[in-house]
Each structure stands twice: as structure tokens, then as C-alpha cells.
Amino acid sequence: MTACTVIGLGEAGATYAAALTAAGHTVTGFDPVAPSTPAGVTRAATAAAACEGADIVLVMTGAAAAWSVAQECLPVLDAGSTYADFTSSSPTVMRELGHLPSKANFADVAILGPISALGEKTPLMVSGPGSQAVADLLRPLGVAVEITEGEPGAAMAHKLLRSVLMKGLAAVVVEAVNAGKAAGLEDWIRGQIANQLAGDGQAVIDRFVTGTAKHALRRSREMQETASYLSELGVAAEMTTASAAAHARIAEHNVAPVLR
């Protein structure tokens, strides 16, 4: 079995710590504020103490703590160990963390889904020298771990590109449903959303890309009117307003230059 350390015992960290303990691994955890510790996990007094003798360290803190945790933990790790950063740090930060002096192999790990829904089986993408160690540890738990080529930061680059869609789409759907509810048409707008999300995904992408470029000016004006309507309904329209601005920018970019 593997000597594992989990830094950060919030929702994500506690989920992985509990799953690793249940699988028979020895798990040490550290968190300065989490009120509880998963059963079977030994809680250390400091992050550095938690990492002493660890085969693999899983860092499950917020991105703001990534630097301080790495600077405290990396120096105490032994050769052949793995330091896996699960924080949502930028690709640039991941790359810089991966270049910090250490005997450990660094891995940049991107979580590709909601842990609240999928638990420890949430799909992961990982890059960097420690990638295989992360896969070997978590795949037996039923985790789909995809190793992507490139240095640390490559996995996070994939995740953030996905976030443009997933977080943006989530915000748009919430705004649309709120507007439908305010207008007394929630069931209808839910049906429209469901229909758009079904079917041939690649065809929808192509239609969005080509159609937006072709009709951007008209769509910008339409979204401006939509934003005004949402204001009348008393519904926040951040995504609609942003869409109007984005379409206006695309329309301006696509205007053919005037011949002189």
C-alpha cells in the first residue's frame, strides 16, 4: 500500500482521503481550518509534517495557497515521491511550480467534473513527470485518469478551455431559466435548452461558429433588446449583456476593410 498525504480536507480532499483509506492506503492529512477529519486519516500539525515519508502528496487546497503549500512541502519529499497539485491554478503557475527545486516528481492534475456529484470517481486529466504515479494510485478506485503530453500546466490548460464552455454554459442556462421563470415560461425555456443540448454536437458547434460570424451584428442588436427585456422582468442579465458585447466585437472584426 501507498503512504499518501492529502493537503486540504475540504469537500474534495476529504473525499479522496476517505476513498484512499477505504482502499487500504495509509493517509495523513493537513488542513488548518477544516472542522473534521475523515475516519482513518491521521491529521498532522503542519503541511510539512504531513508530507514526511509520503510516497505521494495530493494538494486539494484553493489556488491561492498553491505557492505556499508547494514551498513548504516540496523540500521535505524524498526522491521518487510524487507531488500532485489538484488546485485550479493557471497553466503558467503550474509550470512554475513544476520547476521548483525538489526531489519529487511534480504532477499537474485537472478535475474534470463536479466532485459533489461524482465523488472520487470524477474524471481527471494529468500532466508532468508524476502523471503515471497519480494514475496508478487512483485508477484502482475507479477513476478515469487521462495522461496528457506536455509539462506541468498542460492538464490545467485543457481544464480552463473546458471551463470556457462549462462555466459559461452553466451561467447562460441559469440566466435563461431565471428569465423563463419570471416570464411564466420556465417549462418552455427548459425544453428549448434541452433540445439545443441534444443531437449532433459537432453540427451544433459548426452552426454556432459559422452562424455567429455571419449574423453577429443582427444578433448583437437582438441581445441588447433581450437584456432590456430581462431588466423589465427584474432578472440579472450579465450573460446576455456580455453576449451582446461579444457579438458586436465579432461583427466589427468581420467588417471588410474599405477600399481607398
Query: pLDDT 10s per residue in the chain (260 long)?
Result: 899 999 999 999 999 999 999 999 999 999 999 999 999 999 999 999 999 999 999 999 999 999 999 999 999 999 999 999 999 899 999 999 999 999 999 999 999 988 989 999 999 999 999 999 999 999 999 999 999 999 999 999 999 988 888 889 999 999 999 999 999 999 999 999 999 888 888 888 888 888 888 888 888 988 999 999 999 999 999 999 999 999 999 888 876 544 43
Range of the domain at 97: 3-150
**Which whole-number Å values give the CA distances from 46 to 49, 150, 172, in the listed order?**
5, 32, 42
**187/139 same-domain check:** no
The predicted-structure confidence for 162-212, as pLDDT tens digits, reads as follows 888 888 999 999 999 999 999 999 999 999 999 988 888 888 888 888 888
- Where residue 127 sits, what CATH number does that domain have? 3.40.50.720
In a domain, 260, yes or no: no
165 shares a domain with 57 = no
Query: Is 145 part of a structural domain of the chain?
Result: yes
Both 196 and 89 in a single domain? no
| Same domain membership, residue 169 and residue 57 | no
For residues 4 and 231, give the distance between their C-alpha atoms in angstroms, rounded to a whole number: 52
In one-letter notation, the amino acid at residue 258 is V
Final residue in a domain of this structure, among 150, 172, 206: 150
Q: pLDDT tens, 99-109?
A: 999 999 999 99
Q: If 0-12 CB within 10 Å is exposed, 13-18 middle and 19+ buried, where does residue 32 land?
A: exposed
pTM check: above 0.85: no
Residues 227, 122, single domain; the answer is: no
Q: What are phi and psi of 65, to 5 degrees?
A: -95, 0
Q: Looking at the 3D structure of the chain, how many domains does it have?
A: 2
Residue 86 lies in a domain: yes
In the chain the first and final C-alpha atoms are separated, in Å, by 74
Instruction: Specify the pLDDT at position 152.
Output: 95
Q: Is residue 11 part of a domain?
A: yes
Q: How many whole angstroms separate alpha carbon 131 and alpha carbon 220? A: 44
Q: How far apart are CA 180 and CA 240, in angstroms?
A: 14
> Between vectors from CA 34 to CA 29 and to CA 40, what angle results, nearest 5°?
40
**Whether residue 92 is found in the same domain as residue 173:** no
The beta strands (E) that lie in the chain are given as 3-7, 26-30, 42-43, 56-59, 82-85, 105-111, 124-127, 145-147
The reported pLDDT for the residue numbered 193 is: 92
Tell whether 23 and 76 lie within a shared domain: yes
Q: Is residue 259 part of a domain?
A: no
- Do 90 and 209 fall into the same domain? no
> Looking at the structure, do residues 143 and 30 belong to the same domain, yes or no?
yes
pLDDT at 255: 60
pLDDT, one tens digit per residue, over 71-81 is 999 999 999 99
User: Could you say which of 127, 150, 173 is where a domain stops?
Assistant: 150
